[in-house]
C-alpha cells in the first residue's frame, strides 16, 4: 500500500477485516507500506499491521511477493505509481480520482485494458458504491422499480470550509488535488448516478465558485485537518469549494448536481435521488443504513416513501454482518470493496468500477470545468466532440 | 373576487376567517364573486359566502361598494383586471404570477406605484411568505443567525405530471399559464429566497425541459384535476415540466434552483435552505410547521440542526391560533395574507409583496427562459442589460 | 354554544367552516353564545360570529330556535347542561371528558340513549378521531393491514408543566377538571386506541404522579395560559401531571400508555402505534399529516415504514380540502366533527363517538385511578366487577 | 474467548481492531477459542483469528499465557466460567446478563470484588454504553444539560418474534436464557437509564407476556436465526416476548420501560429519552450516530430538538475514527469496550460496568418478574426488602 493518511487507515482496516466476515478465495496479507516520511511511516505500518515499510514505492512494484498495490496517495502521484504497477503485472486498487487529468486517466485506462489481457486486475476506489443501500438502489432500478427514469438529483454537501479561517490543506491546492469540491466529492455523485441508473452523462452545463478565496497557511498537515500557523499569512485557494452543474444523461434525462463544502451543518450529506415513472429512490449518507423507496404502483392511499433499513439478509453485503437493525459504518464500504476485489482476483474476473468507468467520471468533471470556464455553456463529455454541445 | 377555482376557495376562506383570529382595523365583507359560467358561479358564491355574483368582472370595478378586488384567475387575465381595478382606485390582491409577461408586469407595476400615491394598495399573492416557519426564517436571517450567506438551495418538487397519462390542463398550456413548472411553482422559490435573504437575483443560467411532451386531451376541467377524455387524442404540452437553474444573487452568492412536477413521491416539497458562515436554515413545506436551524456558534459537540415547531407564541402569526404543538395547515398562509392586507389598508401602509417585488420575480423567470433558449448561458435579470451577463 | 375558551374558538370556527367545504344536508347558524362573564362574553360572541349572548346557559335549552347545544365548558358543568339539553330534545355535542365522574357519565349516557329514541343525537368531542391519518389508520386496521394485533403503544406527551413555575390553572384543580394529564390528554389515547383497534380495554394497572406538587397561584385566567401573580403564593396541584398505565384489551392484547406534561420538548406528541402480525401503524400528532405504515407482507428487502402523506383524495376528509401535499392543521379535526355531526343529524343517524363510547373511556380512566391508588394492582373496567381483576 | 456465536464474532473483531484505532497500553493477542463442537470451533477460530482451540473452557483458565477470559456463551454457563476465571486471577469480560439468577450474580460479584483486591479486573458486556451518542448523553446529563430529571422513557423494540412461525431458539428457552425479552434486551435499557441518569431503580411494577406461546421446533441452530424443522412439531416458549414495566428511581422519578419482540417493523429500536426541567435527550439505536437534545434554556422561539451527529471530535470515541459525518456501526461499541478494558488493565483501574452494576440490573429484572407474578404490585429491587414495596 502506498500512502497512509485517512484513506490508508480505511484501506488497511478493510484489508485486515474482509476475510473475517466474507468467504474469500484468497487471504490478504499486509506486506509493505510505502510513504515518504520515515518516522511517521514506521508508526503507521505498526498501527495498520504492515510487516515492512519503504520510502520508495518502487520497492512494492519490484517485490515479487506482492500481488496487489493499493494507491492511497493524493491524485498527483496516481499516474506514475499505477502505470508502473500495471506494467509489473500487479493488481491495482487506485483511490479516486483516477488521476488529476483526463490525459493521464486515458493512459492509465489503456494500460489497465492491456494488463487485463494478462489477467491483471484494476479497480478505482469509488467505495461508496459498496454502501448496502446504494448497491440495493442500483439493483432496484435495474429491476424496474422506478420505471422509466424521469430525473436525477444528487448533492454532496459538507461544511468544513464554511469557516473562512479553516486552514489550507493539499486538498485545496490545484497542483496536488487537481480539483476541489468538484473532483473530490462531486466525483462520487457522478459515479454513483451513472452506476445506479446504468446511464452515461453525455453533456453538462456547470458553474464553479471559490466562495472563500484565501485561507490561513497550514503546516505540513496532510489529511482533512491541520491547524493554521500563527503568522497570519493567508494563501490562495486554487480550487473550487462549490460546484453546481446540470447534466444530461444519454437517455435525455436531466440531472441536477451539487458538490459543496459550504453547506453549514451538513457533515457528509451525500444524497442521491432518482425519480421515475413508477417510483423513486432517495438516499443520504448521513443515514447510510437507510434507503427511501417510493412505489407509485402501490394502491392509492398507501403510497409514500418507505424507509428501508438496509440491514436485512436480502440487502447487498448485509448478511455478512449483524442481525437486522444493527447498522454498519463508513469503513464497511472499504471492507466490501476489498472483499469484492479479492473475490475478483481469485475468480479471474474484472472488478468494478473499472478504470474505464473512472475515466468517464473524469471526463464529466473535465467537461464541467470547461463549461464553467465558458459561461456555463453545454459541453460534451465525449472525447471526440471538441465543439460546444449542440443540445 | 374574480375566479373561483382552487385559489378562490382558499382566498374566500381567508376572507371569512382572518378577522375571527386577528384583531383587524376593518372587517371584510364578501360582496360579489365574478366568473364566466353562470351555473357554477352561483353555486360557488353560495358555498364561499358571497352575497352576489356577476359574469362581468367589470361590475366589481364599477361597484362603489367594493373596496378590494381579489384576482384569482389564470395569469392571462391578470393584466386587464388589475389595470382596471387600480385605475378605479380599488385595492388589488393579484394572485401570482403577476402577469404572463414581463411587459404586462411592468405596466401593472407602474400603475400600482401611481395608484399608491392615491392610497390604493396592491399586493401579489406569494402566500407562502406567510407560512410561520418561513416568516421566522426571514427574521432569523435578518438578525444574523446564519451570518454571511454562503449559498442558497431551493427546490419545489411535485409529482403530478410524472404519470404520462395525466391529462392536459390549462396549467400546461402556454397561452393560459404563461409558463410551466418554472412560472407556477419556481416563482415561489424565487420570491422566497430573495425575500428571506434580502438579496436580489441578478443573473441566471437555466435549463428547461418538457419531460412528457404530449398528454391526453382533457374535458373542460379547470384546476389541478380533470380526467382525460376517451378519444385517445393527445395534445402538446407547451410549457416546461422541469426547470433547473443556477442563480447569482447581487452579493455574489450562488443559488441552485429546481422546479419540477416529475419528482415521483414528492407531493408539495417546497424546500428552501440557506447556508451561511454562522448557521443554516432549512424548510420543507411537506412539514410546514417545522423549521430546521443550525447554529455554528453553539458549543462544539452540541451543534446540529434543531427542529423547531413553529407553533410558539414567538413565531410569526402563531400566537393567534392554537396552543403550542397544534399545527397549522396550507390555508393559513392565505388567512395571514388577508390579515396583513386588511391591516395595511386600515393603517394606510403598503403591504408586501409589492408589484415591484413580483415584477422582479417575473424578470428572473424570464431570464431563465432566455438562458434556457440560448444554451444555458448566463443572463442578467436587469431590464437595462440586454447583452449576455459578463459574470 | 356554552363556553368560549380555547375550545370555543375551535368549535365556532368549525361551525362557521364545515359547510364551506363539505356538502351538508343542513346549514349551521351560530345562534347564541352562553358564558358567565358578560364583558368577555360579548366580545367573544362578536369574534366567533354568534348573533346573541346570554349568561344563563338555560336560555339555550329553552330557546325553540336552537337545535344543537355545543358544550365547551370545563368538565364539572357538563352533566347539568347535557342532561337539561337532552331532556329538552336538543342535539348535544359535549366536549370530552363526558363528565368528571363515572356516575355522572352513566346518567348522561342513559339520558342520551333515551333521547336517541326520540331522534335526539349526541356526540362526545374526541375530535382527534377526525384527523385524516387516524381515521385512515382505523380503516387500515379494519381491512386487516396489520393482521392480528400483537401490541398497542400510546403516548400523549406535552411539556407545559415541566416548568415548576408555570402557574395554576383550572386544569390542575381536581374540582374543576376532575383529573389531570390522565383525564385531559390520556383520555384521547384511550379513545383512539379502542376506536382504531375495534377492541375494548377491560383491565388496567396504573401509576399516577404529581411531579410538581405546588405552583404559583394564577389570576382568574381560564385556558392553557395565565400568569402567576406577584405574591409568591403557591397552591397545591390536586391532579396528576404524569400517568403511566398498562392496559389489557378484551382480546388479551397488552397496551402501554403514557400521558404526561413533563416531557420537555414534546409539544403535542400524541402518538399511537399498533403492532400486528402483518404490519404496523404509527402516528405522531406533531406530524399530523403523516401516517407511518409497515407492511410485513411486502417482498423481503422492500419492507420498511412508509411515510404516507394523508392528503390524497383516498384519505378520509382530504378530498374536501387542498391538492395533495398541502397539509391540514389542528382545527380541521373540529371542522370534520361538525361536518359528520350535521350530516348525522340531517340523515337521522347516530354520530360517533357516542356517549356509550365516552363512558367506556371514563371507566378506563377511573380504573387507572383506582389501580394507582392500590399499588398498581390490576383493575377491571367493567362496572359489574368490583373486585380486583383476576388476570 | 469462550463461545463463538454472534457475540463471538463481534468480540473477536473488537479484540483484533481496538489497538488499530486507539493508543492502548497493551496489545491484545487472540490466544485460544473455546467451544463445544470441534468442527465448527476450528472454523470459527480460523475465521476470527485465534491461534488455538479447545473444547474445554477450563484450558483457558489453566493457561498461564492467557490474561483475559472473554465469556460469550449463553447465560447459563457464565457463573461457572467466570468464577473459575476470577479464582485463577484472569481478568474477565462477561457478556450480559451476568448470570441467569440473582443468586449466581451475587456470588460472581463477591468474587469480582475479592479478585479486584488482587488487581484482577472484571467487566460486564453492556456494550451499548459505548455508543458515542449514549456516552455523550450521560456526559450531558452529568453536566446538567437536562436540569432536574422529571421522567425517563425507554423502549427496546424488535420484531423478529412477531411471526408466529419463527422457530424456537435457545433464547426462548428459560433454562438456557434465563429470561426472554426482559432479560435479553430489557437489561440494556435498565443498565443504560441507570447509567445515564446516575440514578438507581429502587422499585418496579411490571407485566410480562408470552404473546406467541408455541413455536416450531428448530434444529440445533444457535444464535438469532435457525430454521424450523419439517415435522410441524411446536414447542412451548418458556420466556416472555413482551415486558412492560414502570420503575421508580431512587430520586422518585418514574420511568416507563418496554422490551418487546412483537413490534412489527422495529428492527433494533433501542430508545432512551430523559426529560428534565431544563431539557431532554432522546436516542434511537436505529439511528445510532444521532442524539437528539432539547435545550429549554435556549431563547424562546429557537427551542427544538437538535439532531446531533455524534461524529465530531468532541464526542466520546469519535476522534479515533473518521471525519465528521462518517458514521460508525454496531460493532464499534464492542471495539470501544475492548479499548476501555485494555486501557483499564494497563493502567490498573477498574473498568465499567462492574459486576456490581450488572448485579443491580439483574435485581431490577428479578423484581419485574416477581411483580409480574404478583399482579403487577410494586416490588423493591433492594435485596434486603422482601416485602411488597410500600411506595
pLDDT in the model for residue A75: 87
Set of cell numbers at residue A47: 498501527
* Phi/psi-derived region of residue C325, left when phi > 0, alpha when psi is between -120 and 50, beta in every other case: left
Mind telling me how many Å the CA of A300 is from chain C's nearest CA?
A: 7
Cβ-Cβ contacts under 8 Å, D13 against chain A: 17, 20
For D117-134, what is each residue's pLDDT tens digit? 999 999 999 999 999 999
Asked if residue C288 and residue C159 are part of one domain, the reply reads: yes
Mind telling me how many Å the CA of D150 is from chain C's nearest CA?
A: 6
pLDDT in the model for residue A352: 97
User: What's the angle, vertex CA A276, arms to CA A274 and CA A281, rounded to 5?
Assistant: 35
Closest CA to B325 of D389, C160, A255, C244: C160
Asked if residue C284 and residue C161 are part of one domain, the reply reads: yes
Q: Which of D93, D127, D161 is the last residue of a domain?
A: D127
| Residue in C324, C326, C328 to test binding to B, most B beta-carbons within 10 Å | C326
CB A186 within 8 A of CB A193: no
Which chains have at least 3 CB atom pairs separated by less than 8 Å from chain A? Answer: B, C, D
Asked if residue D21 belongs to a domain, the reply is: yes
What residues form DSSP beta bridges with A245?
A: A206, A257
Closest CA to A200 of A150, A247, A249, A154: A249
Q: Which of C79, C98, C127 is the last residue of a domain?
A: C127
Asked if residue B307 and residue B211 are part of one domain, the reply reads: yes
| Residue in A140, A282, A304, A305 to test binding to C, most C beta-carbons within 10 Å | A304
ipTM: 0.94
Q: Which residues contact C5 (CB under 8 A, 6 or more apart)?
A: C72, C222, C223
Q: Is the pLDDT of residue A176 over 90?
A: no
Mean pLDDT lowest for which of A101-105, A127-131, C223-227?
C223-227
| Residue in C29, C329, C334 to test binding to B, most B beta-carbons within 10 Å | C329
Asked if residue C185 and residue C102 are part of one domain, the reply reads: no
Q: Environment class of residue A352 by beta-carbon count within 10 Å: exposed (0-12), middle (13-18) or buried (19+)? A: middle
- The CATH number of residue B113's host domain is 3.40.50.720
Q: Which residues of chain C have pLDDT under 50?
A: 220-229, 387-391
pLDDT in the model for residue A178: 79
pLDDT in the model for residue C228: 44
Of residues A256, A275, A378, nearest to B244 (C-beta): A256
Q: Which residue of D has its CA nearest to A288?
A: D327
For A187-229, what is each residue's pLDDT tens digit? 999 999 999 999 999 999 999 999 999 999 875 444 444 444 4
A269 vs D17: CB contact, 8 Å cut-off? no
Mind telling me how many Å the CA of C86 is from chain A's nearest CA?
A: 40
Mean pLDDT, residues B132-155 taken together:
98
Asked if residue A166 and residue A258 are part of one domain, the reply reads: yes
Asked if residue B235 and residue B97 are part of one domain, the reply reads: no
pLDDT in the model for residue C384: 74
Place of cell 351555473: B39
pLDDT in the model for residue A280: 98
Mean pLDDT, residues B285-300 taken together:
98
Asked if residue C337 belongs to a domain, the reply is: no
Asked if residue A149 and residue A182 are part of one domain, the reply reads: yes
D324 vs A20: CB contact, 8 Å cut-off? no
Mind telling me how many Å the CA of C343 is from chain A's nearest CA?
A: 24
pLDDT band at A148 (very low <50, low <70, confident <90, very high): very high
Q: Is the pLDDT of residue D391 over 80?
A: no
Cβ-Cβ contacts under 8 Å, D244 against chain C: 246, 254, 256
Contacts within 8 Å (CB) and 24+ apart, A282-287: A283/A131, A283/A133, A283/A134, A283/A137, A285/A128, A285/A131, A285/D325, A286/D289, A286/D309, A286/D325, A286/D327, A287/D287
pLDDT band at B221 (very low <50, low <70, confident <90, very high): very low
Asked if residue C145 and residue C75 are part of one domain, the reply reads: no
pLDDT in the model for residue B384: 74
| Residue in C145, C150, C252, C297 to test binding to D, most D beta-carbons within 10 Å | C150
Mean pLDDT, residues A335-363 taken together:
98
Radius of gyration of chain C from its Cα atoms, rounded to whole angstroms: 21
Three-state SS sequence of chain C: CECCCHHHHHHHHHHHHHHHHCCCCCCCCCCEEECCCHHHHHHHHHHHCCCEEECCCHHHHHCCCCCEEEECCCHHHHHHHHHHHHHCCCEEEECCCCCCCHHHHHHHHHHHHHHHCCCCCEEECCHHHHCHHHHHHHHHHHCCCCCCEEEEEEEEECCCCCCCCCCCCHHHCHHHHCCCHHHHHHHHHHHHHHHHHCCCEEEEEEEEECCCCEEECECCCCCCCCCECCCCCEEECCCCCEEEEEEEECCCCEEEEEEECCCCCCCCEEEEEEEECCEEEEEEHHHCCEEEEEECCCCCCCCCEEEEECCCCCCCCHHHCCCCCCCCCCCHHHHHHHHHHHHHHHHCCCCCCCHHHHHHHHHHHHHHHHHHHCCCCCEECCCCCCCECCC
Q: Is the pLDDT of residue B316 over 80?
A: yes
Report helix angle C187-197 to C355-373, nearest 10. Answer: 120
For A34-84, what is each residue's pLDDT tens digit? 999 999 999 999 999 999 999 999 999 999 999 999 999 988 999 999 999
Alpha helices in A56-101 (DSSP H): 58-62, 78-87
Mind telling me how many Å the CA of D158 is from chain B's nearest CA?
A: 27
Of residues B12, B267, B331, nearest to C325 (C-beta): B267
Mind telling me how many Å the CA of C113 is from chain B's nearest CA?
A: 34
Mind telling me how many Å the CA of C213 is from chain B's nearest CA?
A: 23
What's the pTM? 0.95
pLDDT in the model for residue B222: 42
Residue B213 CA from chain centroid, whole number: 25
Asked if residue A1 belongs to a domain, the reply is: no
Cβ-Cβ contacts under 8 Å, A21 against chain D: 9
Instruction: Write out the residue range of the structural domain in which residue D79 sits.
Output: 6-127
Q: Residues in chain D whose beta carbon is closer than 8 A to a beta carbon of chain C?
A: 146, 150-151, 153, 155, 159, 162-164, 205, 207, 209, 211, 242, 244, 246, 254, 256, 258, 260, 262-266, 273, 275-280, 294, 296, 303-305, 375-378, 388-389
Asked if residue C340 belongs to a domain, the reply is: no
Mean pLDDT lowest for which of A203-212, B52-61, B184-193, B227-236?
B227-236
Number of domains in chain D: 2
Q: Which residue of A has its CA nearest to C299?
A: A314
Asked if residue A310 and residue A166 are part of one domain, the reply reads: yes
Q: Which of B127, B149, B172 is the last residue of a domain?
A: B127
Asked if residue D346 belongs to a domain, the reply is: no
For D282-325, what is each residue's pLDDT tens digit? 999 999 999 999 999 999 999 999 999 999 999 999 999 999 99
Asked if residue D246 belongs to a domain, the reply is: yes
How far is residue C181's CA from residue C178's CA, in Å, rounded to a whole number? 10
Mind telling me how many Å the CA of D188 is from chain B's nearest CA?
A: 25
Set of cell numbers at residue A191: 459515479
pLDDT in the model for residue D385: 66
Mean pLDDT, residues A239-255 taken together:
97
Asked if residue D244 and residue D228 are part of one domain, the reply reads: yes
Asked if residue A283 and residue A200 are part of one domain, the reply reads: yes
Average pLDDT over chain B, rounded to an integer? 93
Q: Dihedral angle at the C-alpha atoms of D10, D12, D13, D19, nearest 10 degrees? A: 130
Set of cell numbers at residue A241: 469549494
pLDDT band at D225 (very low <50, low <70, confident <90, very high): very low
B267 vs C311: CB contact, 8 Å cut-off? yes
D262 vs C275: CB contact, 8 Å cut-off? yes
C159 vs D275: CB contact, 8 Å cut-off? yes
Asked if residue C268 and residue C174 are part of one domain, the reply reads: yes
Mean pLDDT, residues B352-377 taken together:
97
Q: Which residue of A has its CA nearest to C139?
A: A301
- The CATH number of residue A248's host domain is 3.30.360.10
What residues form DSSP beta bridges with A153?
A: A256, A273
Asked if residue A384 belongs to a domain, the reply is: no
pLDDT band at B231 (very low <50, low <70, confident <90, very high): low
For B324-335, what is each residue's pLDDT tens digit? 999 999 999 999
CB C7 within 8 A of CB C33: no
Q: Is the pLDDT of residue B196 over 80?
A: yes
pLDDT in the model for residue B390: 41
Alpha helices in chain D (DSSP H): 6-21, 38-48, 58-62, 78-87, 102-117, 132-142, 174-177, 181, 187-197, 332-347, 355-373
How far is residue B26's CA from residue B345's CA, in Å, rounded to a whole number? 8
A305 vs C307: CB contact, 8 Å cut-off? yes
Asked if residue C147 belongs to a domain, the reply is: yes
pLDDT band at D170 (very low <50, low <70, confident <90, very high): confident
User: What's the angle, vertex CA A94, arms to CA A90 and CA A97, rounded to 5?
Assistant: 150
CB B45 within 8 A of CB B53: yes
Q: Is the pLDDT of residue A277 over 90?
A: yes
**What are the distances in angstroms from CA D41 to CA C365, D68, D76, D177?**
57, 19, 20, 21
pLDDT in the model for residue C321: 97
Place of cell 403523516: C290
Which chains have at least 3 CB atom pairs separated by less than 8 Å from chain B? Answer: A, C, D
Mind telling me how many Å the CA of B132 is from chain D's nearest CA?
A: 11
pLDDT in the model for residue D66: 97
Q: Residues in chain D whose beta carbon is closer than 8 A to a beta carbon of chain B?
A: 136, 293, 298, 300-309, 312-315
CB D206 within 8 A of CB D369: yes
Residues above pLDDT 70, as percent of chain D: 95
Mean pLDDT, residues D233-262 taken together:
96
| Residue in B8, B160, B323, B335 to test binding to C, most C beta-carbons within 10 Å | B323
Amino acid at each position: 500500500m502506498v500512502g497512509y493518511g485517512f484513506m490508508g487507515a480505511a484501506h488497511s482496516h478493510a484489508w485486515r477485516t474482509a476475510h473475517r466476515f466474507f468467504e474469500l478465495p484468497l487471504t490478504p496479507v499486509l506486506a509493505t507500506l510505502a510513504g515518504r516520511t520515515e518516522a511517521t511511516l514506521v508508526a503507521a505500518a505498526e498501527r495498520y499491521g504492515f510487516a515492512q515499510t519503504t520510502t520508495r514505492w518502487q520497492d512494492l512494484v519490484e517485490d515479487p511477493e506482492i500481488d496487489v498495490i493499493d494507491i492511497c496517495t493524493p491524485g498527483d502521484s496516481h499516474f506514475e505509481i499505477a502505470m508502473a504497477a500495471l506494467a509489473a503485472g500487479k493488481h491495482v486498487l487506485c483511490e479516486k480520482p483516477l488521476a488529476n487529468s483526463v490525459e493521464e486517466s486515458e493512459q492509465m485506462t489503456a494500460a489497465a485494458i492491456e494488463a487485463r489481457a494478462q489477467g491483471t486486475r484494476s479497480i478505482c476506489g469509488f467505495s461508496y458504491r459498496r454502501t448496502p443501500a446504494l448497491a440495493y438502489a442500483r439493483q432496484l432500478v435495474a429491476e424496474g422499480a422506478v420505471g422509466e427514469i424521469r430525473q436525477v438529483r444528487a448533492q454532496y454537501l459538507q461544511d468544513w470550509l464554511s469557516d473562512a479561517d479553516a486552514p489550507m490543506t493539499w486538498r485545496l491546492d490545484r497542483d496536488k488535488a487537481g480539483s476541489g469540491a468538484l473532483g473530490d466529492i462531486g466525483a462520487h455523485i457522478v459515479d454513483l448516478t451513472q452506476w445506479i441508473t446504468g446511464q452515461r452523462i453525455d453533456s453538462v452545463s456547470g458553474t464553479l465558485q471559490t466562495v472563500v478565496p484565501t485561507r490561513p497557511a497550514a503546516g505540513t498537515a496532510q489529511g482533512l485537518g491541520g491547524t493554521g500557523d500563527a503568522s497570519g499569512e493567508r494563501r490562495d485557494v486554487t480550487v473550487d469549494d462549490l460546484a453546481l452543474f446540470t447534466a444530461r444523461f444519454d437517455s435525455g434525462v436531466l440531472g441536477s448536481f451539487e458538490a459543496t463544502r459550504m453547506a453549514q451543518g451538513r457533515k457528509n450529506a451525500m444524497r442521491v435521488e432518482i425519480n421515475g415513472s413508477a417510483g423513486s429512490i432517495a438516499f443520504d449518507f448521513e443515514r447510510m443504513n437507510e434507503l427511501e423507496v417510493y412505489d407509485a404502483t402501490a394502491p392509492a392511499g398507501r403510497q409514500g416513501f418507505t424507509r428501508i433499513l438496509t440491514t436485512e439478509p436480502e440487502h447487498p453485503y448485509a448478511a455478512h454482518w449483524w442481525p437486522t437493525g444493527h447498522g454498519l459504518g463508513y469503513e464497511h464500504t472499504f471492507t466490501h470493496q476489498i472483499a469484492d476485489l479479492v473475490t475478483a482476483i481469485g475468480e479471474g474476473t474484472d472488478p468494478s468500477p473499472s478504470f474505464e468507468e473512472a475515466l468517464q467520471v473524469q471526463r464529466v468533471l473535465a467537461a464541467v470545468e470547461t463549461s464553467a470556464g465558458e459561461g456555463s455553456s453545454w459541453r460534451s463529455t465525449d472525447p471526440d466532440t471538441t465543439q460546444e454541445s449542440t443540445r
